[in-house]
Amino acid sequence: MKVWKYPLRITADQKVEMPAGSEILSVKMEKSQLCLWALVSPAGNKETRYIEVFGTGHHVEPGTRKYLGTVQDHGLVWHVFEAVIEG
């Protein structure tokens, strides 16, 4: 197992490819770059994870999400979720 870092965009809809079964550990700002850290098994097959980032007060469409964390950068506050996609 290893810990890998994934840079994120500040957008409501993005896909992150990581080894299947990876455990998302944390989201933080690193030098003004939003990043996600996950515990991965590098030899595993890849899977797509769906990450959403919303600012405080922004509209969030209904849906099933797992909260990952809240980060701040230059006075802005971002809330990061993993969308649960059925099927």
The answer, yes or no, to whether residue 74 has pLDDT greater than 80, is yes
Question: How buried is 50 (Cβ within 10 angstroms: 0-12 exposed, 13-18 middle, 19+ buried)?
Answer: middle
- 62 pLDDT band (50/70/90 cuts)? confident
Q: Are 52 and 12 in contact (CB under 8 A)?
A: yes
Total domains, the chain: 1
Q: Which domain holds residue 44?
A: 2-83
The answer, yes or no, to whether residue 87 has pLDDT greater than 70, is no
The answer, yes or no, to whether residue 44 has pLDDT greater than 90, is no
Q: Which residues contact 64 (CB under 8 A, 6 or more apart)?
A: 83, 84, 86
The answer, yes or no, to whether residue 66 has pLDDT greater than 80, is yes
- The whole-chain average pLDDT of the chain stands at 92
